[in-house]
Structure 1
């Protein structure tokens, strides 16, 4: 490529370069317009992406009101949160799932469930009483927990101390894979006893034992009569902590009915309710009152969280499409916003209750002139929850059932979710607009590239023309200088 040279110094070359760049800027004016169109298209892609994100958030908020449990497709279980109160939590506490029926119950705890426990006789730790009497060899016994048994063998030399014998029994029992914990206890520094405790409460985990050979358990004081009669242990003699196996179970009055359970955690008495028994009472004590009710605050929060997501979506769309908004009067977004407002304002046809509310304003909600939601009258809302949870849940998640198929999902949450899924997917109108803008950007890029190539050629021709003019001027200057010098020589 030819370069600019100057007979008048570098300033002349700079002037030419400036003229060339001015020419380039003039010729690139159409490209600037195309680049502006490209910026607009990119902005539209971003804005439609924001619209899709808002709709996804609203769909997720609606989905939180809809049950994911296929056995309860109506979603009403999401409005069944329960609050639980106990008049004496140190005696009875309770929890409830959404399936629990609201109600008030009385509980009088007669007895707590406990673990079966056995203690051996008390022995001098350092004596060799047990092994001395039994002699060396393998001593075998069986031990059962709730009918699940194992055979345990202990090998002695005949010289072990009482403490060492008990250590060997502890090791054998703990290795037998039974639901128990065996341990050595030392009531005083010189005494030792074997203690066996179950890991599960109740009579279903009762202990039984028997010597098979060697008489080891009998020598520990755990004889057949003790086993059969469940003799109580003392400070020195062997026996059981509870002499009647049935008394290992919890016993309590529930609304005046005698109940026994093997555990202090009772979850099979009332559907959805778990009672935890903590302390026994006297028969003359006042029963504990346990109350299960709809957790109105929890249900309100779910609804208000949904309202917040909905309002955020509507407000965002209004800001985008208002005069001067980034998507001013965009028909697509306007239609979507109006449809969302229409759904929220609609009447629900598939109400399951007789004479139940059919529209949001009837349960205490307010729809503003801009389509925004608020739970204006919480007392009305709470009153409907107290009467029947379905008065509220049907507004959001009502369905019509046909055989085993739930066909018509008429509740507001279902309607919103269905509408958003139809317009927000890969084949939806919003994605189509994004795809159109992306295609337009590709076309604009091709036009820009074509213009740039054309401008580069024009600029090069312009530059070449300047250079040729410069070269011609330079040649004329040289000729003028030669003639001037020649004339001066003639005049001398």
Structure 2
């Protein structure tokens, strides 16, 4: 092909471009691919190190929450009880008999004809209910046009829908108060779980209208779980506080007030809860045409027994729960009578507590879930045992399965990391391993292997101080393996402290490896710093390749122009030659 033909010029320029790219660009592309492959490899390795770190974070814990303090309960299959043990429970054994299950206190109204009209109960009736450490007051509004059934229904609805509310005294809005101090509002779930807010005030001849406006603003702005509002009634005003969560209590004690404002407001409440948090009511028809109302305590046991009374009005008295019945805890004598279902004479003589014989000792609790008898052990009582039933033996032992499982998980995650690095130092028919020549990867692999095969410093020679003494061996090509499962299980069972020391002592394997692994991870870790460096090199190479390609393209363009000029000159020469040849009759 003529080099000065168009096709010849194109072929020449293409050959030139390819030659220059092979010579100048390809080596840079190879370097770029190397950095990209390294980044991918280190990213994958980072993920595996993260999984290993997660396991190590559990194994290195040496406090009471250590995995090596895992416990389990063992007892024969039965219908009477179950037991669970949490970490750090003492290894021990117990014998148990279930003699009585805990029950929620139950109060029943008398049975009343449902559709009997009642016109004498109009007005507001206030009932107080106490259970455990908490009390609640609820208002029942009656119109005087109810039946027995609708009165019971209104009592039930008022109690079940109640919220804890604190009302101040009704105060003349224009009257003034002078005083400075602060008081505390407590809101919480129980006596050990609450939040406190301090409300400060400093008033000089301020009207109660202004005082309440300020208190509403402070309380709503600073106290979670409570809504404050000023109630206006003609020339009078009052403060109303409503607890948002029906299950929570409120306490505002005058004794905590340093300036006597609460006394002026008439507010002094302790452990006030909604009645709906203390008791559940149900209206039912024991027989056709009749109605009966039941009150069931939300919490079981003698300490949570129901104490009920009419504060104002006679709602409870009307349904047969007279003051005499309520104060003496009279039991129901028949199906139609009002009273208590269970006896509750004292903390030891009652039908409300669970009762069990524990290692020969009589025990009572409020609940059927007993978690304060043995530290870190919970007994759940299910049914009462007959005299002919044998005692239940409950053992608390080291949970070998959980501990061994976590050790095996460590072995797995260690191997995933170790072999990932190891395999990338291999050169085979597929090519050179990506980590060949990588001193960072080699250093990490050596640290991993050295840690698991070395003696644990700080542990005496008469104790287990090598991982291999737990039946866990190391192969330079494959990593760790549980080569003697029985040896590991026996060590966990018989020398649990020595097993934990292998991992979580000051120089233990888990702590040492965790420190090593952690240094490679994170935004400032070895891997991040290295990949950042690789990224900079990749950016440089991308820019360099772009610049070289641009240079090659420009050079190719210049060459093309030069050859095209030669082509034009050649065409012109050939044209002149043809002209002269024709003019001279072929002389030229």
Same structural fold, with TM-score higher than 0.5 when normalized by the shorter chain? yes
Q: What is the aligned counterpart of 1:383 among 482, 486, 490?
A: 490
Q: 1:63 aligns with which of 57, 80, 83?
A: 57
| Structure 1 residue 138 displacement after superposition | 4.6
Alpha-carbon displacement from aligned partner over 1:4-26 (angstroms, at most 9, x marks no partner) = xx9x9x99312221122112223
Give 1:401's aligned residue. none
Which of the two has greater strand per residue?
Answer: 2
Which of 320, 337, 344 does residue 244 from structure 1 map onto? Answer: 344
CA contact (8 A) 1:105 1:254 kept: yes
Q: TM-score, normalised by structure 2?
A: 0.72
1:269-310 deviation digits (Å, cap 9, x = unpaired): 111111111111234532222222122111111001100111
User: Cα gap change, 1:143/1:23 in structure 2, threshold over 3 Å: closer, same or farther?
Assistant: closer
Instruction: For residue 126 of structure 1, give the secondary structure of its aligned residue in structure 2.
Output: coil
Q: CA 1:367/1:171 → structure 2, altered by over 3 Å: closer, same or farther?
A: same
Find the residue that maps to 1:269 and give its secondary structure: strand
1:15 to 2, 8, 26: 8
CA change 1:307–1:137 in 2 (3 A) is closer
User: Is 1:360 aligned to residue 464 of structure 2?
Assistant: no
**In the alignment, what sits opposite 2:212?**
none
Instruction: Report if the CA contact (8 A) 2:4-2:563 is conserved.
Output: no
Q: 1:255 to 1:444 in 2, by over 3 A?
A: same
Match of 2:309 in 1: 210
| Root-mean-square deviation over aligned CA pairs | 2.9
User: Which position in structure 2 is the counterpart of 1:421?
Assistant: 518
The yes-or-no answer on 1:393 pairing with 2:495 is no
Are 2:446 and 1:328 aligned?
A: no
Contact 2:72 2:86 in 1 (8 A): no
The C-alpha deviation readout for 1:435-476, integer Å capped at 9, x for no partner, is: 444444444445434533443343233223322221222112
Partner of 1:349: 457
Contact kept, 8 Å, 2:411 with 2:481, in 1: the verdict is yes
1:467-491 CA-partner distances (Å, limit 9, x unpaired): 222122211222122222212399x
Distance 2:35 2:482 in 1: 40
CA distance in 2, matches of 1:184, 1:428: 67
Match status 1:271 vs 2:375? yes
The DSSP-based 3-state class of the residue aligned with 2:66 is helix
- Please list every run of 5 or more consecutive structure 1 residues that lacks an aligned counterpart in the other structure: 1-5, 68-72, 399-408
Q: Name the counterpart of 1:3.
A: none
User: Structure 2 vs 1, CA of residues 373 and 227 (structure 1 numbering), >3 Å: closer, same or farther?
Assistant: same
- In 1, distance between residues paired with 2:144 and 2:533? 94
Inter-CA distance 323–222: structure 2 relative to 1 (3 Å threshold): same
- CA spacing shift, 1:215–1:354, aligned 2, 3 Å: farther
1:82-101 correspondence to structure 2 within 5 Å: 82-101=71-90
Decide which structure has the larger Cα Rg and report it.
Answer: 1
Find the aligned partners of 1:148 and 1:424 in 2 and give their Cα distance.
52
Q: Which residue of 1 aligns with 2:395?
A: 291
Q: Is residue 141–residue 153 contact of structure 1 (8 Å, CA) maintained in 2?
A: yes
Say if 1:33 and 1:258 are closer, same or farther in 2 by CA, change over 3 A: same
Match of residue 317 from structure 1: 421
Secondary structure of the corresponding residue to residue 373 of structure 1: strand
Pick from 154, 160, 165 the counterpart of residue 174 of structure 1: 160
Task: Give SS of 1:482's match.
Answer: helix
1:111 aligns with 2:211: no
SS at match of 2:331: coil
After TM superposition, the structure 1 stretch with the greater mean CA deviation from structure 2, 325-334 or 355-364, is 325-334
Give the whole-Å Cα distance in 1 for the aligned partners of 2:298 and 2:451.
57
1:54 corresponds to: 48
Distance 1:158 1:33, change over 3 A: closer
Secondary structure in 2 matching 1:248? coil
Cα deviation, 1:82-141, whole Å, max 9, x if unaligned, reads: 22233244211122111212222111111111111111111221223xx36x56555454
8 A Cα contact 1:322 1:329, kept in partner: no
2:481 is aligned with 1:374: yes
1:265 positional shift: 1.0
1:256 alignment partner in structure 2 = 360
Partners in 2 of 1:310 and 1:301 — Cα distance?
Answer: 14
- Residue of structure 2 equivalent to 1:223: 322
1:209 Cα shift? 2.8
Asked if structure 1 preserves the Cα contact closer than 8 Å seen for 2:81 and 2:379, the reply is yes
Given the two structures, how large is their TM-score scaled by the length of structure 1? 0.85
Conserved? CA contact 1:82–1:293, under 8 Å = yes
Find 1:42's aligned residue among 30, 36, 43. Answer: 36
Report how far residue 228 of structure 1 moved: 3.2
> Is contact 1:123–1:193 with CA below 8 Å preserved after alignment?
yes
| Aligned residues between the structures | 464
**Aligned 8 A contact 1:265 1:276 in 2:** yes
Are the equivalent residues in 2 in contact too, given 1:75–1:397 (CA < 8 A)?
Answer: no
Q: Which runs of 5+ in 2 are unaligned?
A: 163-273
1:477 corresponds to which of 561, 571, 574: 574
Q: How many Å separate the matches in 1 of 2:452 and 2:547?
A: 51
After superposition, the Cα gap between the structure-2 partners of 1:450 and 1:115, relative to the gap in structure 1 and judged at 3 Å, is closer
> Which stretch shows the higher mean deviation, 207-216 or 290-299?
207-216
SS in 1 for 2:584: helix
Match in the other structure for 2:557 = 460
Inter-CA distance 36–92: structure 2 relative to 1 (3 Å threshold)? same
Of 14, 19, 22, the residue aligned with 1:26 is 19
1:263 Cα deviation (Å)? 0.9
